[in-house]
Structure 1
């Protein structure tokens, strides 16, 4: 393996800046997008480890670790981690997903060296003391309780579990009260040492920066982790995730509103028809002009919030429709939703609707990249999750290539799949036993 880093220019994006990629000898990948017109920089360390990489006994450990890494390193206390970034007007945070975890900071361009030092320090050199484990255990248990008090969020977890069951994709990212209560410092530290390796990480930065200087600073920050390695391969796209259909799960809660998700198995992240699915999703429930919004809210006033959504993973996906309504209106909302999905599956959608759905998709792509944080995320996710990093122009071109026939084909295939239903509200277990026909 070469002792010097390998650098290449990936794109000269007319809607952004120059994207460069460097691979260090230890397998760490560094991607930057230089945008001289910006006065800020977003810097992130993306780790290709998430909640689906946990055993049942370690459920929630990735999210637990995300909390703990901000509690202190050998060089900084928890207060110093936050205060050093805030003293220059910046912000730092992190989030855990099912297939990755990200730690990031956004600062003025002149303060990028500080952001690199702080974020890299907390990611690779945290101390994980017993006292901090116990403190954050209480914080996470409170976070789980808060989530359980938000049925509009909880119903999505119930739906995901209904589809994927005991597979790691079916578990909550935060873990459960039982799993978090049982995790030990030794288990968390072992997961950290085994999983948080340079070869599993991607560094991404976007804004007013110099690629060579970023590489130099990151290489210095990772100097203690210099074992030669190749970047970890992307997750397999050929594995088969067991999924269930025809599930009806009711979680009884005394809530003012009932919350429901009706949906089915969707497409994985790199499916050839993912752009057609995006357009279809917009037409069905992606905005105020969508069919479901018009039918359920505008014309009948049955719900305040109603939308469709997709979730994609490397080897699996979900499609669903969410609605929150008065308990007495659930059956009507459910019937309208089922009828509309069946109608689209059978009859398709018009060419004009397809064009509107594509326009919404293109607008979301471009408008969602007008700050350094979103551009940094595009680099990190692109390297970790996809086989290629598409320029914005290339994404727009692929959306333009979507035909009405392809969207109608996707609608007929996807919406004809057996559906599952998740409901939270004041109902007994058998309230919707015949809801799926």
Structure 2
């Protein structure tokens, strides 16, 4: 059976790790001389590949005066380098039928591309050029400032986005994790080009960069391509340096926010009310996260879940209702959501809390446990059928979890969850200070 790939420490320059994976896939990890980490998963028979350039920096890492810079960079790195215009970058991928994009999180940022395996060297060169040599042109920045403000306005017009954003703020308070990833209209309007540049030069470098690729990829060739591209971009990849450590091992300042409870009402002239209740959850590396997955699947993870059956199927009070969880290095959130007619919001809120308390008090049945484990197992396998998911798994294993589990081992950890573990965890989550956020046509 394929074993976990241990990534407990970032490793020294020149270190190598290899682990077989399911389906004859092979994962390799190398630490290059400048501290860049490269992880690949070769998937036999595939003619495509997805490559990602990860920087272990997110919106939580923005200093005062830099708020919104992380999301700004996600946009601006596509706007041109010393070697390429924005049109050159777009044409490079369109010409070969590929696609490129980026994603900003609260703790990391990823720039990625999916192409045919023959076009992987081009993708590596373009993505690396963007990461190392972005111009952050002042005129382009002002243009993109307007684009980002439109993006924020679009999100603010979606009450389901608003309720989740405000919920994170309610639970995490003034902690940096409570800030919106994309910034606010106020911070985006205020952040100057110099602050974005400072954020870029402070956090983007060989020691913070992780390159991951999955599909039809040759590990040694990719390492050589990355080194060459980084050198062309002017980064020092010859001086031996150790990578920056992961969060929680002293590499990043900060800590968990204090527990708090809040009740927030946001007025929107909508036909439907959106409500979320919940509180603090588990960290991303908590060993109980597998029990949390089973808990979440049982409570609100599908059509057979308790929330769906009780609120939608039996009572017809909502079209969409579910539970959710997200974990960070030092804290997490857990919540229950529903969208309903404003006049029914109090009844729906009561049912959300009732089902949560019932799970905490009585636990789950054997049938629910088996059904949830089956749901999670099938979703895990299906979710790893494409190169993008595998590329993302490598990045998160390196930056977040400190280990890469083989598929069989992941399934074993899910199947090992007991009903008692779920009940105890549900009780702990229910005992946390509880926040509620409502968005809709309310006056107070």
- Counterpart of 2:212? 204
1:71 and 2:83 equivalent? no
Q: Match for 2:45 among 19, 37, 42?
A: 37
1:156 and 2:193 equivalent? no
Q: Match for 2:308 among 265, 270, 293?
A: 293
Structure 2: how far apart are the matches of 1:138 and 1:86? 25
User: Structure 1 residues 325, 56: closer, same or farther in 2, change over 3 A?
Assistant: farther
- Counterpart of 2:155? 147
1:225 and 2:235 equivalent? yes
1:214 and 2:222 equivalent? yes
Q: TM-score, normalised by structure 2?
A: 0.94
The one-character-per-residue Cα deviations of 1:195-238 (angstroms, maximum 9, x if unpaired) are 00111111000001111101110110111312432111000179
User: Structure 1 residues 316, 15: closer, same or farther in 2, change over 3 A?
Assistant: farther
Structure 2: how far apart are the matches of 1:77 and 1:50? 26
User: For structure 1, which segment, 92-101 or 55-64, has the greater mean C-alpha deviation from structure 2 after superposition?
Assistant: 55-64
1:22 and 2:30 equivalent? yes
- Counterpart of 2:377? 362
User: Structure 1 residues 326, 20: closer, same or farther in 2, change over 3 A?
Assistant: same
- Counterpart of 1:138? 146
Q: Match for 1:58 among 51, 55, 66?
A: 66
User: Structure 1 residues 424, 152: closer, same or farther in 2, change over 3 A?
Assistant: same
1:399 and 2:407 equivalent? no
Instruction: Judge conservation of contact 1:306–1:322 (CA < 8 Å) in 2.
Output: yes
Map 1:176-325 → 2, pairs under 5 A: 176-223=184-231, 224-226=234-236, 227-236=239-248, 240-325=255-340
Q: Quote how far apart the aligned CAs of 1:245 are.
A: 3.2
Q: Quote how far apart the aligned CAs of 1:417 are.
A: 2.4
- Counterpart of 2:4? none
- Counterpart of 2:15? 6
1:379 and 2:394 equivalent? yes
Structure 2: how far apart are the matches of 1:202 and 1:130? 28
Instruction: Judge conservation of contact 1:36–1:209 (CA < 8 Å) in 2.
Output: no
Structure 1: how far apart are the matches of 2:364 and 2:13? 54
Instruction: Judge conservation of contact 1:269–1:312 (CA < 8 Å) in 2.
Output: yes
- Counterpart of 1:118? 126
- Counterpart of 1:434? none
1:101 and 2:115 equivalent? no
Q: Count the aligned residue pairs.
A: 427
1:168 and 2:183 equivalent? no
Q: Match for 2:423 among 389, 396, 408?
A: 408
The one-character-per-residue Cα deviations of 1:265-304 (angstroms, maximum 9, x if unpaired) are 0010111211001000000000000000000000111010
Across the aligned residues of Structure 1 and Structure 2, the Cα RMSD in angstroms comes to: 1.5
Q: TM-score, normalised by structure 1?
A: 0.95
Q: Quote how far apart the aligned CAs of 1:3 are.
A: 11
Structure 1: how far apart are the matches of 2:226 and 2:306? 48
1:330 and 2:345 equivalent? yes
User: Structure 1 residues 303, 388: closer, same or farther in 2, change over 3 A?
Assistant: same
User: Which blocks of at least 5 consecutive residues in structure 1 are unaligned?
Assistant: 430-437
The one-character-per-residue Cα deviations of 1:378-426 (angstroms, maximum 9, x if unpaired) are 0011101112111111111111211112112112222232311011111
User: Which blocks of at least 5 consecutive residues in structure 2 are unaligned?
Assistant: 1-10
SS at the partner of 1:349? coil
